[in-house]
Amino acid sequence: MSAPRKLFIKTYGCQMNVYDSERMAEALAPRGYVQTDSADDADMIVLNTCHIREKAAEKVYSELGRFRALKDANPDLKIGVAGCVAQAEGEEIMRRQPLVDLVVGPQSYHRLPALEAKARAGRKALDTDFPEEDKFGDLPARPKARRAPSAFLTVQEGCDKFCAFCVVPYTRGAEMSRPAARVLSEARDLVERGVREITLLGQNVNAYHGHPGGLAGLIRELAAIDGLARIRFTTSHPNDMDDALIAAHGEVEKLMPYLHLPVQSGSDRVLKAMNRKHSAESYVRLIERIRAARPDILLSGDFIVGFPGETEADFQQTLALVEAVEYGQCYSFKYSPRPGTPAAERAHVDEAVKDDRLQRLQALLKRQQRAVQDRMVGRTVSVLFEKPGREAGQMVGKSDHLHSVFVDAPQVAVGDLRAVRITASAPNSLAGTLV
């Protein structure tokens, strides 16, 4: 029996890429691959890329350049590029980096075994199609090994919103929802292997239509699975936050009180230029309805500053929206152009102005985050313990509001779900004691 080949996957970007990397490793397992944590001894390297951040493609080319010495030392080493940069760049990757053996887009990675076989035969392998078949249906059954207590589960891919700054509709394609029966089957399998918390993933997850009741209907069926203690979902669009999903936040105990709901700007003029199809006012009213259903919900969001045409007055409206909502967590970025998107062709805001606005926004968001955390002190929360801490006897887990919580609890095991009284708030975490 031949020795197993070693597979190294480096994952960039969002949680969906984390899930995709897991499935790629599983797809290659029948070809004799086992995962390794080091590229140095790998027989195959795959970069699972993201196209959201600035200069994403150039960072991939830079990373590939560092693998040249490994390829020179081991001519049998195969190097692949997957994900959204692979979808966007295609043949250009192989042209610029001849050491790359295969390129596969995010909708085609179920074909990885055939692509790897082609590369092993000495031929370049490229697949950036949007195939008609459901890749999830063609992937192998998931292995039965024990899992960490939290897991991601992709239920929806692609986006039909065409925001002016975003490449997702071009790299992930149109919205596609997995059938509920397959999602529920995979969820039950994860629970059988030790998973207690599942985060449902999608580029626009609340547009999920694989269940007659939409995402809310899927969540209610998932909540009936014995052993599954927690359900989360990300990322959502305000326009798809329907009444049923709002009601689920108030009625489904297993649906955690945390919601990531990006707004991007507080200026209606900028939102229209972004093609967001909602207003700042409608977003704030939506938040009020969600909080009426679930008063203790922690809100997270995304903001882009310096979008083409944004004025100081527009930016002040963004700050006003942040003040009105009060976020417990947020992600904020300077606008950076993505080739092929409508906004990339517009006149850009000066970089120094973007830097200044980002610093002011992040200072406000940081104050809000700390205030929300400080108010947790004295409260009792549910914590799912995920790993040991750095100190002896210390365990680390996530609260129902997704805060990291450190507890001196040597008697607690990974996967335990325990009540914890919060005793202290640090910049990015909480500390507590078992109740």
Residue ending a domain, among 110, 127, 144, is: 127
Buried b (16+ CB within 10 A) or exposed e, 22-60: bbbbbbbbebebebbeebeebbbbbbbbbbbeeebbebb
Helix 243-251 to helix 214-223 angle (10° resolution) is 20
Which two structure tokens, joined as six digits, stand for 270? Answer: 């900028």
Ligand-binding site membership of 163 (annotated): yes
336 lies in the same domain as 367:
yes
Stretch (H or E) spanning 285: helix 280-293
70 lies in the same domain as 158:
no
79-110 pLDDT, tens digit per residue, is 999 988 888 888 889 889 999 999 998 888 88
Residue 148 burial (10 A CB sphere; 0-12, 13-18, 19+): middle
367 lies in the same domain as 398:
no
Give the CATH number for residue 72.
3.40.50.12160
161-202 pLDDT, tens digit per residue, is 999 999 888 888 889 999 999 999 999 999 999 999 999 999
194 lies in the same domain as 248:
yes
pTM of the model: 0.83
Length of the chain: 435
Confidence of residue 216 (pLDDT cuts 50, 70, 90): very high
Percent of the chain topping pLDDT 70: 96
Segment 223-250 mean pLDDT:
97
Residue ending a domain, among 337, 355, 374, is: 374
Phi/psi region, residue 309 (left: phi>0; alpha: psi -120 to 50; beta: rest), is left
**406 neighbors 389 (Cβ within 8 angstroms):** yes
139 lies in the same domain as 284:
yes
Measured between alpha carbons, how far is 146 from 192 in angstroms, rounded to an integer? Answer: 8
Specify the 3-state DSSP secondary structure of 61.
Answer: helix
384 lies in the same domain as 370:
no
Ligand-binding site membership of 14 (annotated): yes
Residue ending a domain, among 127, 162, 197, is: 127
Owning domain of residue 418? 380-434
Measured between alpha carbons, how far is 153 from 137 in angstroms, rounded to an integer? Answer: 14
Count of structural domains within the chain: 3
pLDDT value, residue 199? 97
**357 neighbors 320 (Cβ within 8 angstroms):** no
221 lies in the same domain as 298:
yes
Confidence of residue 51 (pLDDT cuts 50, 70, 90): confident
Ligand-binding site membership of 330 (annotated): no
Provide the 10 A C-beta neighbour count for residue 380: 12
370 lies in the same domain as 392:
no
143 lies in the same domain as 22:
no
369 lies in the same domain as 388:
no
Segment 396-404 mean pLDDT:
97
Closest CA to 232 of 247, 250, 219, 246: 219
Q: Which amino acid is at 350?
A: D
Long-range contacts of 1-5 (CB under 8 A, 24+ apart): 2/32, 4/32, 4/33, 4/34, 5/31, 5/32, 5/33, 5/34, 5/43, 5/44
Give the CATH number for residue 170.
3.80.30.20
Measured between alpha carbons, how far is 137 from 147 in angstroms, rounded to an integer? Answer: 22
Ligand-binding site membership of 166 (annotated): yes
Give the CATH number for residue 426.
2.40.50.140
265 lies in the same domain as 203:
yes
Measured between alpha carbons, how far is 26 from 261 in angstroms, rounded to an integer? Answer: 31
Measured between alpha carbons, how far is 148 from 385 in angstroms, rounded to an integer? Answer: 10
Measured between alpha carbons, how far is 88 from 429 in angstroms, rounded to an integer? Answer: 37
112 lies in the same domain as 201:
no
312-330 pLDDT, tens digit per residue, is 999 999 999 999 999 999 9
Closest CA to 90 of 98, 81, 79, 77: 81
